[in-house]
Structure 1
Amino acid sequence: MIVRTWRGWTRAQDASAYEDYLMRTGFPGYASTPGNRGAYFTRRDDGDRTEFFLISLWESWEAVRAFAGDAPETAVFYPEDDAYLVDRELMVEHYEVFAGPHS
């Protein structure tokens, strides 16, 4: 299994709207991709900004590529992300899972 992580930041006052936007775009995009084994979309307030930390689980590198394309290390963005994000990671992190509850 592969874990994929990404971070982005909004202004605190835009956090709820961005959360709603992610639930209409990103979350269904992750969940509907064959080979996705789950996704956790998290957030935390940090002063005048809110950090969003997305964690997704994938059954294989092929599944990651089905979601992210031929450059899986590049973050996937949606059309209105620019309206909300004040900072973002352009590259994602991947980790190979070697132990867990179902290993």
Structure 2
Amino acid sequence: MLKRVWRGWTSPENADAYEQLLRSTIFPDIIGRKIDGFLGIELLRRPLGTEIEFMTIMTFTDHDAIVRFAGPAHATAVVPPAARELLSRYDAEAAHYDLRIA
């Protein structure tokens, strides 16, 4: 099992709007794709002084499932235009981890 971890940062003023976009549009769109091997997505949020950091953790059965989600350049971040408008910065690539203990 693999975890795909990605981070983005936004201003406190945009944080609630960004979270709402994730909850109402982006996550449902990902789930609606019914990607074989996609098991779920988690959202973490924390304040960091003048920014709010968001972290998404997606769970996949294997590498091929990540490629089905992100394409051949599987490490490249998948950030829709509406999200880019609300983020002040974000990781250009996601990190992939083998789940060792659950």
TM-score normalized by the length of structure 1:
0.88
Aligned with 2:64 (options 48, 62, 65): 62
SS in 2 for 1:9: strand
Distance (whole Å) between structure 1 residues aligned to residue 38 and residue 28 of structure 2: 11
Structure 1: segments with no counterpart, 5+ residues: none
After superposition, residues 3-14 of structure 1 pair within 5 angstroms as 3-14=3-14
Q: Which has the higher helix share?
A: 2
1:53 is matched with: 55
Distance (whole Å) between structure 2 residues aligned to residue 85 and residue 6 of structure 1: 13
Q: RMSD value over aligned CA atoms?
A: 1.3
Q: Number of paired residues?
A: 100
Identity of aligned residues (%): 35
> Residues 3 and 97 of structure 1 are in contact (CA less than 8 Å); yes or no, is this contact kept in structure 2?
yes
Q: Which amino acid aligns with 1:5?
A: V
Of 29-38 and 41-50, deviating more is: 29-38
Q: Which amino acid aligns with 2:89?
A: D
Q: Which amino acid aligns with 2:69?
A: F
Q: Which amino acid aligns with 1:23?
A: R
SS in 1 for 2:77: coil
1:99 is matched with: 101
**CA distances 1:18-53 after superposition (whole Å, capped 9, x unpaired):** 001111333124323221112111111112210001
